[in-house]
Amino acid sequence: MDRWVHPAIFFFIGSLLLPFVKGKAKKFLILLIPVLSIIDVAVMQAGIYGSYQFLNINIVFGRVDKLSLVFAWVFVIMAFLGALYALHVKEDGHHVAGSFYIGSSLGAIFAGDYLTLFIFWEVMAFSSVFLVWYRKERRSIEAGFRYLLVHVFGGLLFFTGMMLYYYKTGNFVFDKIFPDNAGIAEYFILAGFSLNAAVLPLHAWLPDAYPEATVEGAVFMCAFTTKTAVYVLARGFPGFEILAILGTAMTVYGVFYAVIENDMRRVLAYHIISQVGYMVAGVGIGTELALNGACAHAFAHILYKALLFMGAGAVLFMAGTAKMSQLGGLYKYMPLTMIFYVVGAISISGFPLFSGFVSKSMIVASAHEKGRLMLMSWMNLAGIGTFLSVGLKVTYFTFFGKEAEIKPKEPPKNMLWAMGLTSTLCFIIGVYPKVLYDLLPFPVEYHPYTLPHLSEMLQILSFTGLVFFLLVKKLQPEAKLNLDMDWFYRKGARVFMKLDERVISVVDSVWGELYRIVGLNLLFKNARISYGFDRKIIDGVVDGSATTVRGAGSIVRKLQTGRIQAYIGLSLFLFFLILWFVLRGM
């Protein structure tokens, strides 16, 4: 097909119509927007669309290929599931922010140049922050401001690199960069992308902001920002060794914090860092198998992580807290929520027949294929921590364990339907991985259901289960604060504010007073001198010249009689006068 409709258009236009629609029609429109985008993606064909010339810059809104399509598919599917989960939300602003967030994410993955990408990149940051602020609590407001400031900083890194890249190459083309050709411009861009991917040590914004978002907003946020960053890394920076190293470090770092956290959503937030670490490592390894694994795991992760946040959000929504130290025995009161959460938990843990089993192992296999045994070992260790924290600790202490006083009910039906559909997708992908593998950017020859792989995963899962039940008392959730890298900019901001209050503001006041006394007096004095010079010298010369010219003009005008004999006589007089001066000079 020659015509191409950008799927982001449905979200942008639909979000603007939402405030004017009421009742059931509003709910219908909320679900219709992602349905139209799914149909749009289904009929897309590869090609370049929406290409324009702007100030001698080639702007490309639609670069459609297998890499962008695999992310587009999971984004529009997740948009529908998230919209269904949030169908009960009454605030129009929440839906508008979510729609702009999804639309800008789609805009980013189809962008063919850095300028277009940057515009959508910034819209993502400024729209998603409202999903944090709409919780309307002090902690969420503060977390939202920190989230926004960090992402503005990341945007500045990206913008700086983009402009240096334009100065270097003369264009904004967004394409693969080879490590040997990368300079300061490319590494600035890489830093901006890495911040959105929560790459160490630029990760602390994620566990700071996501647990403070609204119940429904956290479901959207866990799906789009980091995975958009994985897409741009896969598009622009495959094969960068630094990504393989930092990505592997992320897998272990995230699970370490997840094991010791008390809040369900903070556990899941740290696991985003861990799971995205697999994807970043896959991009860094850079082989076709590794890139396929990164894309497949991004697809699977969006679904099971959203399912986990849906389950945790349902607990928070109905019980009023997500802290495991205050929960327990919820399987009696929220059995469906418990079942759906467990599906997400075993999916992220890599259980056979579920989505994580067929995606994460591709990245581990690519590390083995490249002889990166150290990376593979750390990834397997992170897998143990994943099952230990998300699969066992959260499940046990939230839904089983000692029964708490809280006795909540199941959440609204739209939330249960969203969790049920997402659980079904996790199972379908795990049982029939070909439906996912056919979407990947390179041909897939990987087969997850081999006897060695099944044996390895069952051994890891069994060992982890044994460790948990031996150490269950040691893993008891505690109400405590775990420090992370955000401590530095939190404390740094306080130090800066004190410095501003005691030093910068004082210097500014002194400088302002000095300027008022000295600077303004000098300014007024110079103004008076300039005024006098202009009035007496400039105006005198100009006015005198004008008077002289005017007088000469008056004399000449009187000589213009219209009589030819007068002109002849005047000419002869001037001739003899000039001749007399010449002869006298000789």
**pLDDT tens digits for 368-403?**
888 888 888 899 888 888 988 888 999 999 998 888
Domain positions in the chain are 1-236, 238-478, 490-579
- pLDDT tens, position by position, 423-475: 999 999 999 999 999 999 999 888 999 998 898 888 889 988 898 888 888 88
Give pLDDT tens digits for 8-41.
Answer: 999 999 999 999 998 889 999 999 999 999 999 9
Q: Render 132-171 in DSSP notation, one character per residue.
A: HHTT-SHHHHHHHHHHHHHHHHHHHHHHHHHHHHHHHHSS
Give residue for tokens 């789009």.
Answer: 224
The confidence score (pLDDT) of residue 41 equals 95
Per the document, the length of the chain is 586
Is 61 a residue whose pLDDT tops 80? yes
- In a 13 Å sphere around the CA of 497, the CA atoms on its Cβ side amount to 6
Distance CA 476, CA 19 (A): 46
Between 163-167, 257-261, 553-557, the lowest mean confidence (pLDDT) is in 553-557
Close Cβ partners of 305 (under 8 Å, ≥ 6 residues apart): 222, 223, 268, 271, 272, 275, 344, 348
Q: Do residues 318 and 335 make contact, with C-beta atoms less than 8 angstroms apart?
A: no
C-alpha 574, offset from chain centre: 86
Q: Which amino acid is at 229?
A: A
Residue 538: predicted pLDDT? 65
Query: pLDDT band at 510, cuts 50/70/90?
Result: confident
Q: Which helix (H) or strand (E) holds 60?
A: strand 57-64
Share of the chain above pLDDT 70, in %: 88
| pLDDT at 1 > cutoff 50 | no
pLDDT, tens digit, for every residue of 249-301?
999 999 989 888 889 999 999 999 999 999 999 999 999 999 999 999 999 99
- pLDDT of 534 higher than 90: no
CB-CB contact of 131 with 221 (8 Å): yes
Q: How many helices (H) and strands (E) does the chain have?
A: 24, 2
Question: Average pLDDT in the 158-183 region?
Answer: 91
Between CA 230 and CA 558 the distance in angstroms is: 89
Kindly report, residue by residue over 67-111, the tens digit of the pLDDT: 999 999 999 999 999 999 999 999 999 999 999 999 999 999 999
